[in-house]
Structure 1
Amino acid sequence: MRPLPSAWPFLQWLFLGSLVGALAGLASAIFLYLLERATHLREQHSFLVFTLPVAGLVLGAVYDRWGKPIRGGNNLVIDSVHEGDAQLPLRMAPMVLLGTVLTHLFGGSAGREGTAVQMGGSLADAVAHRFRVPSLTRRELLAAGIAGGFGSVFGTPIAGTMFGLEVVVIGRMSYEALLPSLVSAVVGDLVTRGLGIEHTLYPVPAPLPLTVPLLGKWLLFAGAVALVAVVFVESVHAMKKAWERYVPSLPLRMAAGGALLVGLWQLVGTDMYLGLGVPGILRSFTDPELPVAAFALKLLFTALTLSAGYLGGEVTPLFFIGAALGNVLARLLGLPLDMGAAVGLAAMFAAAANTPLALSIMAVELLGASVLPHVAIVATLAYLLTGHRGIYPAQRIARLKHGGPLLRRLVPLRELPKEDEDPRA
């Protein structure tokens, strides 16, 4: 008869996961409160957007002086999961929090998941080094930090759990980190909500029976989502390289990018594409006259903001891009407007971040079970159609998307072009 497993690992993960989740949830609550205040202030005083170049110059100088060790952002967190024992700088948490809030205060188009993931990762690593845990435990705790940050900032603990497991490696789930990630995400969400933070409520689409003709429409829909996701990913990477080549000074780069954003804002004549863009996301569910170019304009605003060096994530802007694109596709394909926006919202980020399972679950947590199986079908197809690229170049590939055996080593996305044609070699 086999002996019963020890309760120690379970108790250890309950404690460490809860501690990381509580810290991540507290950080997310502070961040979301400040972000709401900054957004409200900017909406009440639009002249603040005109000062974005000056804010970029100051932020760039501060970040260039004290932020070089954390400049990798989400990619630094993912790299830390895979290699080395050097601690993520604890300064990452306050610096990305304040930097992202200021980006939104002055009108930059960015998200919030990047900030939450980096805060969760740096706080988790501080816990790991404080308790001197082994290297393997540290990597699992970092995944829990990612899960706690993501789950608490969006109010989606189960999606946060899956995101922490799915985002670090393409083609292999890190189930060894399942328990700490789940504990961290659930506790983080409870802490954030317990501190009075209210998350955005999205419309719940009516159930839509799956039929053969509808499957054909979803295939076309997935192709369009994948195409726009590829444009977003490649645009951000290409624009970032161009900025770094032609304007090597970070303060000047951010100032120049801010000036271009102000000019673009004046050209389009609306605040719709500034900041998170939540009102635009909600409008996509109900407005049959949403501008056809709304998704493209939000893509441009966001790519320019992030490539120039402003802080923030990609999730909420990608939600906007996906929902607005879904609105347009729903009108073209004869789909319910709210279902098109809902599926586009989740599938766009799933394709860009290579996380179809997490975003399918997230769609259910945000939009209700009626989005299944539609969002899972489109997210999976779009994820496959985007190829081996994504918004996080540090993601490792364990298995090629088109199948085959596990690779002999984990290949970072950023190194894939340097590999032979087949990375299994």
Structure 2
Amino acid sequence: MLIYNEKFFEFAKNLLLPIILGSIIGLAIFLLNNIYRFLNHISLLLISYNPILIFASTLIALLGGYLIVILLANNKKCGCGTELVIESYHFRNGFLSLKDTISKTLASVITISFGGSTGLEGPSLLLGGGISSFITRKLRLNQKDVKKLFLCGTTAGFSAIFKAPLTGILLALEIPYKRDIEAMVFVPASIASITAYFVSIATFGTETIFPSPMLLSIHTSILIHAVILGVLAALIALIFIKFLEGINIAIEKLTKKISMLYITILGGLILGIIGLFYPEVLGLGYETICKMTTTKLGNISLIMLISLLIFKIIATSITLNFGGSGRLFIPTLYIGGVLGLIYA
């Protein structure tokens, strides 16, 4: 009888719990996405009423996100939410407090909705990991199972927001593990990811975030161009990382002389100035990427494309270092897409 109980327990941990987690997290991501759409609609209404109100929007983006983290979160560090996921997995045995989960997710959504240049994958990983941590600890599972299901939760969150279960499995498993993939959790994570994906398409629909306007035939010249573009993308990525780190170092020195609150306000004003001239670089940038993939290249000037690339890097670096919350995945897709058009 004891053997059967143990087998059922293992079955529940590796199949039933991932399905339950995937379903709950999929619904949570649906709620997250709707909150983003609602707040983003308010932001767009403000700007459409008077373009100068873009400054109010960008100030809310950074100042709102910053104040939520400082006033409500246990972990007071703003910026890239993935660091908290990594820290929770490696140093806290998969523990992520519900307080941090809700406050930091909300901070990221406010940052993005009102013009911060970052992505929803950060709060999605946080929300998935936080929900998993809360449920598994309520069930009093052992440390190993809590950590394993924590990764299942992050995977489900990523899969649900992008409707990409396979990418979610590989990316969300690799990020917390830093240098390798946590192979032992692959099967339950796959189950959680696919479940969250089905919940996502049931609530959001099957439409992909980015359209595929045409099919390309693969031939030698395309492969050669792909290699060249890959090298250029690596160089741009290196510049982006160095600039991001440089801004971070400068802010750390500045906070010794000036309150972070004033720095956050300054960041909001700088984002507003950028947004006045290049509103396309603010926020998620989904619409801009979609327009680029469906617009004839002759309609977009080279100077415009180079400007979008440069100011997207600047806007993202300011967002994440001046008090905003989020992650780099979507901005890097944006930068890579613009680089591809420049090369073309």
TM over 0.5: yes
Backbone CA RMSD of aligned residues: 2.5
Q: How does 1:378-393 map to 2 (within 5 A)?
A: none
Instruction: Give the one of 51, 54, 59 matched to 1:49.
Output: 54
Contact 2:69 2:76 in 1 (8 A): no
Structure 2 CA distance, aligned partners of 1:134 and 1:257? Answer: 44
TM-score normalised by structure 2 residue count = 0.86
What do the CA deviations read for 1:193-232 (whole angstroms, capped 9, x no partner)? 3234665241243132232x44332221111111111222
Instruction: Give the one of 68, 71, 75 matched to 2:77.
Output: 71
Structure 2 CA distance, aligned partners of 1:160 and 1:242? Answer: 34
2:217 matched residue in structure 1:
208
**CA 1:253–1:23: 2 relative to 1, 3 Å:** farther
Instruction: Give the one of 98, 105, 112 matched to 1:97.
Output: 105
1:35 matched residue in structure 2:
36
1:13 matches 2:8? no
1:157 matches 2:158? no
Report SS of the residue matched to 2:305: coil
Contact 1:145 1:184 in 2 (8 A): yes
What do the CA deviations read for 1:171-197 (whole angstroms, capped 9, x no partner)? 422111112211111121222332346
Structure 1 CA distance, aligned partners of 2:62 and 2:311? Answer: 21
1:61 matches 2:61? no
2:326 matched residue in structure 1:
312
One-letter amino acid matched to 1:224:
L
Bigger helix share: 2
Which 5+ residue runs of structure 1 have no aligned equivalent? 332-425
Q: How does 1:154-233 map to 2 (within 5 A)?
A: 154-196=162-204, 199-211=208-220, 213-233=221-241
What do the CA deviations read for 1:380-408 (whole angstroms, capped 9, x no partner)? xxxxxxxxxxxxxxxxxxxxxxxxxxxxx
Q: How does 1:25-424 map to 2 (within 5 A)?
A: 25-46=26-47, 47=50, 48-51=53-56, 52-53=58-59, 56-69=62-75, 71=77, 73-85=81-93, 87-196=95-204, 199-211=208-220, 213-247=221-255, 249-266=259-276, 269-285=277-293, 286-288=295-297, 289-290=299-300, 291-293=304-306, 294-329=308-343, 331=344
Contact 2:86 2:177 in 1 (8 A): no
Bigger Cα displacement from structure 2, 222-231 vs 286-295: 286-295
Structure 1 CA distance, aligned partners of 2:105 and 2:150? Answer: 18
Structure 1 CA distance, aligned partners of 2:41 and 2:192? Answer: 30
**CA 1:128–1:237: 2 relative to 1, 3 Å:** farther
Structure 2 CA distance, aligned partners of 1:199 and 1:95? Answer: 28
**CA 1:175–1:192: 2 relative to 1, 3 Å:** same
| Higher RCO (CA 8 Å, separation ≥ 6 residues) | 2
Contact 1:69 1:89 in 2 (8 A): no
Which 5+ residue runs of structure 2 have no aligned equivalent? 1-5
